[in-house]
Homo-oligomer: A and B are copies of this chain.
Amino acid sequence: MTKKVEVKAKGHFADRLIAAIKAKKNPVCVGLDPRLKSIPEFIQKRHIAQYGETLAAAANAILEFNKGIIDAVCDLVPIVKPQIAFYEQYGFSGFWAFEETCKYAQQKGLLVIADAKRNDIGSTAEGYANAFLGEVELFNGKIPSIDVDAITVNPYLGYDGIKPFADVCRKYGKGMFVLLKTSNPSSGDLQDQVLDEKMTNYELMAHLIESWSADDVGESGYGFMGAVVGATYPAQAAVIRKLLPTAIFLVPGYGAQGGGAKDVMPCFNKDSLGAIVNSSRGITFAYQAEKYAGVYQPEAYAEAARAATLEMIEDLKGVA
Q: Binary interface profile of A, 68-103, with partner B (CB < 8 Å = 1, else 0)?
A: 000000000000000101101111110110110000
- Among A123-131, A238-246, A265-273, the stretch that binds chain B is A123-131
Judged by a CB distance under 8 angstroms, whether A184 is at the interface is yes
Given A127-B86, A189-B159, A195-B195; A58-B139 close (CB under 8 Å): yes
Please report the C-alpha to C-alpha distance between residue A195 and residue B311 in the assembled complex, in whole angstroms: 43
Which of chain B's residues have a CB closer than 8 A to the CB of A36? 137-139
A131/B190 in contact, CB under 8 A = no
Q: How far is A145 from B196 in the complex, measured between Cα atoms in Å? A: 44
Residues of B contacting A91 with CB < 8 Å? 95-96, 99, 131, 145-146
* Best-surrounded residue of A33, A44, A136, A204 (most CB of chain B within 10 A): A136
Point out the residue from B55, B95, B117 that lies within 8 Å of A119, measured CB to CB. Answer: B117
CB of A184 within 8 A of CB of B196, answer no
How many identical chains are in the complex?
2
Please give the residue numbers on chain A whose beta carbons come within 8 Å of chain B beta carbons, in ascending order: 33, 35-37, 44, 48, 53-55, 57-58, 83, 85-86, 88-93, 95-96, 98-99, 117-125, 127-128, 130-131, 136-141, 143, 145-146, 154-161, 179, 182-191, 193-196, 198, 201, 204-205, 208
CA distance A109 to B319 in the complex (A): 58
A164–B310 Cα distance when bound, in Å, is 34
- Whole-angstrom distance between the Cβ of A121 and the nearest chain B Cβ: 4
Query: A205 → chain B, closest Cβ, in Å?
Result: 7
State the CA gap A225–B263 with chains docked (Å).
Answer: 36
Given contact pairs A92-B96, A136-B89, A186 touches B201 in the complex (Cβ within 8 A): no
Residue numbers in B under 8 Å from A184 (CB-CB):
121-122, 157-158, 160-161
The residue among A93, A95, A193 with the most chain B CB atoms within 10 A of its own CB is A95
Contact B158 A156 (CB under 8 A): no
User: Given the complex of chains A and B, what is the CA–CA distance between A99 and B92 in angstroms?
Assistant: 8
Given contacts A121-B184, A160-B184, contact A145 B190 (CB under 8 A): no
Q: Give every chain B residue within 8 A of A196 (Cβ-Cβ).
A: 193-196, 198
Cα distance A98–B94 when bound, in Å?
14
Q: Given the known A-B contacts A117-B120, A124-B85, A130-B89, are A160 and B139 also in contact in the complex, defined by CB atoms under 8 Å?
A: no
The interface centre, meaning the residue of A33, A137, A156, A160 with most chain B CB atoms within 10 A of its CB, is: A156
Q: Are A131 and B85 in contact (CB under 8 A)?
A: yes
The distance in angstroms between the C-alpha atoms of A145 and B87, with both chains bound, is 12
A9 vs chain B, min Cβ distance (A): 18
| Chain B nearest CB, measured from A238 CB (Å) | 21
Residues in chain B near residue A186, CB distance under 8 A: 157-161
